[in-house]
Amino acid sequence: AEQQALIDNLGRRPLRLAGDGLSDSPGFSSLYGAYYLFETTVNRIIHLELVKSTGVKSSCHMKLEELDRSLTYLTKEDLTVEVIVTDRYVQVSVYMKQEHPLIQHCLDLWHISKARLRRNNPVDRIY
């Protein structure tokens, strides 16, 4: 009920989303994963998608499946996404270019800067 009221309140204006996923355990053996979409103009989570790894090829495919289901839900609700910010996953970038070319896809700056800092750290290069 609260989610539907929020969606109705958003009206038909284009959404500006940030998406991220969580899993029940780190690594590649997660059983459950959750993906949330955060609408940045109203500072609210507008959708949460729960996926069990047995429903996808492997647990590393869960984030893509969660994002796909989330965007499908928004489409069914007749909402338009203008921009979405996600983690830096190759599968997600390819999916967004092929399946949703009209949505501007941006990468999360925190993850990009974290990767660059790691790459420039001499200690990390030794090991």
Please state the rounded mean pLDDT for residues 11-34.
81
Please tell me the predicted confidence (pLDDT) of residue 18. 94
Average pLDDT of the residues of the chain: 84
On whether the pTM is more than 0.75, the answer is yes
Q: What is the torsion angle, in degrees rounded to the nearest 10, for the CA atoms of residue 73, residue 36, residue 39 and residue 118?
A: -130
Say how far apart CA 16 and CA 38 lie, in whole Å: 8
Please state the rounded mean pLDDT for residues 7-31.
82
Please tell me the predicted confidence (pLDDT) of residue 127. 46
Show the domains of the chain with their CATH numbers: 2-126 (3.30.420)
Packing angle, helices 90-99 and 62-76, rounded to 10: 30
- For residue 41, what is the DSSP state? T
Please tell me the predicted confidence (pLDDT) of residue 124. 53
Say how far apart CA 49 and CA 9 lie, in whole Å: 21
Say how far apart CA 80 and CA 82 lie, in whole Å: 6
